[in-house]
Chain A
Amino acid sequence: KAGVTQTPRYLIKTRGQQVTLSCSPISGHRSVSWYQQTPGQGLQFLFEYFSETQRNKGNFPGRFSGRQFSNSRSEMNVSTLELGDSALYLCASSFGTGGINEQYFGPGTRLTVT
């Protein structure tokens, strides 16, 4: 079974631009969660989508948004990029919704904002 895939793997953007990251979950998984990882803040939860509905949201500004499609693929969008948005963005999929259920993480997208 193929794992979680994320595209692109690396991205360089300029302040003020917007970016869209994509995540394809493991086949059959209906939940996709997004996380931001930085050296200073560690791994922080952004949001979770299940069956195209946002089920949970972390403490991030409205510039961070996401959506999930009927095939469970998910996209995350960050508008008006700031230098502090430079991070590794990870998505994880699971069969059921609910945080502590076993999640399968993708390799991440490394975003650099200059």
Chain B
Amino acid sequence: LAKTTQPISMDSYEGQEVNITCSHNNIATNDYITWYQQFPSQGPRFIIQGYKTKVTNEVASLFIPADRKSSTLSLPRVSLSDTAVYYCLVGGKAAGNKLTFGGGTRVLVKP
């Protein structure tokens, strides 16, 4: 399973764009990149998933360069309610693969 490295914490202000970069140097050909968000005392919530290039949904964008050794989660115009821990996960979809969470990035949005 590919190991991921992401910053421990980040601070931002309301209305700004937050970009969290995750390194996954040994990503395998069949691996996908997925991001989850977790609020205190709640279960993680799926944000976005991608394989290559760029993926965008209603809450975030995911940028993946051609070599796929890193990825960047972009949260546009954050609000106080975006304060949470964000996890980057890398893995395959085949049976037998398990979801492995790293330490995550604690994002604090200030007023």
Chain A interface residues (CB < 8 Å from chain B): 4, 33, 35, 42-45, 48, 50, 55-56, 58, 88, 90, 92, 96-108, 110
Q: Does B41 contact A (CB under 8 A)?
A: yes
Q: How big is the B interface, by class?
A: 20 to 34
B61 CB, nearest partner CB in chain A, Å: 17
Q: Is the CB of A103 within 8 A of B102?
A: no
**Binary A-proximity of B32-75 (CB < 8 A = 1, otherwise 0):** 10100000011111100100000000000000000000000000
- In terms of DSSP, what is the predominant structure of the interface of chain B? loop
| Alpha-carbon distance A104/B94, docked complex (angstroms) | 18
Decide if the interface of chain A is mainly helix, strand, loop or mixed.
strand
Q: Given A33-B99, A45-B99, A55-B96, are A100 and B32 also a contact pair (CB < 8 Å)?
A: yes
The CA-CA distance from A58 to B99 in the complex, in Å, is 10
Give 7 closest A-B pairs by Cβ, nearest first: A105-B43, A43-B101, A99-B97, A99-B99, A100-B91, A99-B98, A97-B95
Answer yes or no: B109 CB below 8 A from chain A CBs.
no
A44 to chain B, nearest CB (A): 8
Say yes or no: A106 contacts B43, CB within 8 Å.
yes
Distance A99 CA – B87 CA, assembled complex (angstroms) = 14
The CA of A58 and the CA of B41, in the complex, are separated in Å by: 22
In the complex the two chains form, is B100's CB within 8 Å of A98's CB? no
CB neighbours of A4 from chain B (8 A): 43
Distance in Å from the Cβ of B86 to the closest Cβ of chain A?
A: 13
Among candidates A33, A45, A101, A107, residue contacting B93 with C-beta atoms closer than 8 Å: A101
Known: A55-B95, A56-B96. A100 touches B42 (CB 8 A): no
Give the distance in Å from the alpha carbon of A50 to the alpha carbon of B94 in the complex.
13
